[in-house]
Structure 1
Amino acid sequence: MSDPTSAVDTARGARFAAYDELVASVRAGGLGPDPAGLRIAVAFTTRQAVRHEGRSGGYRNEVLSLRLGAAVGSCAVEPGALPERAVEECAGVDVARLLEHPLPAVRVAALDAYLMHLAPHTPGNGARPVPLPAGTSLEKSVARARAVVELLELPVGATVLVVGVVNSLLAELRGRGLGYVPCDLKGGRTEWGEEVVTDALTAAGRCDALLVSGMTLGNGTFEPLRRHAVRHGKQLVMFAQTGSAVLPRFLGHGVSAVCAEPYPFFWLDGGPGVVHRYGGPRADDGYGGACPEGSR
């Protein structure tokens, strides 16, 4: 006789070979409760503007977050791109309806909230917590960058495509003797004056590994990069506020590791914090073998 508890646990830890497959399974109740029976209690946005001491430039972030029970799912957006009505349209609405919302950010945040509700970032669900010390936003950004870059296994001199330019990540790569190609849809230049390319998939062809922001879930560029990693056997490490509970579902299917950072993000508080790693070196997690996008 089969064990129903074991079957539920297997479904909770299921991995997927494509984003659409994951969404379809959630909609059908294949991983747990019917999303039509779960309602979002709170919807909110978090906006920030930052200029770290000692850095030449600043940046802005905006994140949509949805609360389902104790879980919060999030999706970062370009500042000013989210309509004001979006928050009101989400509060009190069931997850199934939000998975069909016309705004990609709402769909991703709803999926993230559902999966976080189903399997929060705990050791029992395969997460390996990495503490972040108390400190300034820059100090915590540097600590987070170290936790992310440690998930790469590359020889000195290898080149990494960095999608979603975070200067602390670039500095950590430089300190480890790794080259990089910075990529961001906004273009521009890095802290060191390097040109930021805008076509990630074209740049990926000349890189040995990919270090990619979870924001790619919201702008539709995640799947092409995941398929590139599968096709060419490259490491794909995700750093994620956006979709922190979504991206571990693709471990073994293009994604090699995830540094997950659910809400509240480290730049909201000067106290100690934590990120959660899945996959990567010395991995022994429940998925079989993961920080914010904008901590620059």
Structure 2
Amino acid sequence: MAASGEHIKALVRSHASGDDSAFYAVAMQVAAKAARQGHSRLAADIKHLIDDARQEPVVRNVTSIATPRGDLADLVQATFPKATFRDFVGPAEVVDQIKLVVSEQRQRSRLLEHGFAPVHRLLLAGPPGTGKTLTASVIAHELALPLLTVRLDGLLSKYLGETAGKLRTVFDAVNTQRAVYLFDEFDALGADRAGNDVGEARRILNSFLVFLEEASPESVVIAATNHRQILDHALFRRFDQVISYDLPDAVQARKIMQARLGGLGKGVRWASVVSHAEGLSHAELVKSVESAAKLALLGGNMTVTTTDLIDAVETRKMARRG
């Protein structure tokens, strides 16, 4: 075995502390030991990997980015999502678009080598609760990257007069720290500003467009909006891909509810449940199922009845109406 137990522990410690120099030094020791033991091919492979990693322009330390510091810490919320494609229920064309993003990012080096940038600037548009945030979570998980969420409505109100500078801070991170960056509530920034060309809002939007244009393809920048119709038309051509979301149809609604309910849904008459669920979003369907399931379990039952689900769905619809 090329690496000793001490080498492995040293590698883990240096990675956890974000000390790249120490990490590479220990890796070179492993390569040297492999060479001495006659594993010349292994030693050469390790050295090549180290050389390639040192030449990468983007910092790849996921541990350090998980707890943003300084100005960035006040602007983003960092998470490590666990959502996978199995958790996403939607039209096949939407799933295919998301898979394309993941595929191109995984093979970005090959694309960049031939002068092509991978898809890395996405606009997600659709009603609340239809899967936009879940999409960002799936992409982050599939790429093994942290998800850094920027709440633009809060950013605009908290840093009035400083917003452009704060956006630059975020995009500086985009260009140096590989991650998935989600600009939530994007309509707070991207709403059509016609007739306000010299105002603060126009200046902020123009700054965002410049930063977006220069964003590194090593990171994924996602803007999510509930109100596509009010967005400034200049935005759409700046994104590599625009993905539209709608409320789930009957087939999708059933899949969403079945997936969340799991084995607790044996014997449910789904046609009856789905007929009551029309108009609810992905998130609302999940909440309805969770409510019904918890009531059943707390009542000592190991299955959820059709009536339980219908009652939960109707309660959710009443809550929406206020």
Common topology (TM > 0.5): no
Compare the two structures and name the one with the higher strand fraction: 1
Indicate the structure (1 or 2) with the bigger Cα radius of gyration.
Answer: 2
Compare the two structures and name the one with the higher helix fraction: 2
Structure with the bigger RCO (C-alpha within 8 Å, sep 6+) is 1
TM-score normalised by structure 2 residue count: 0.27
TM-score normalised by structure 1 residue count: 0.28
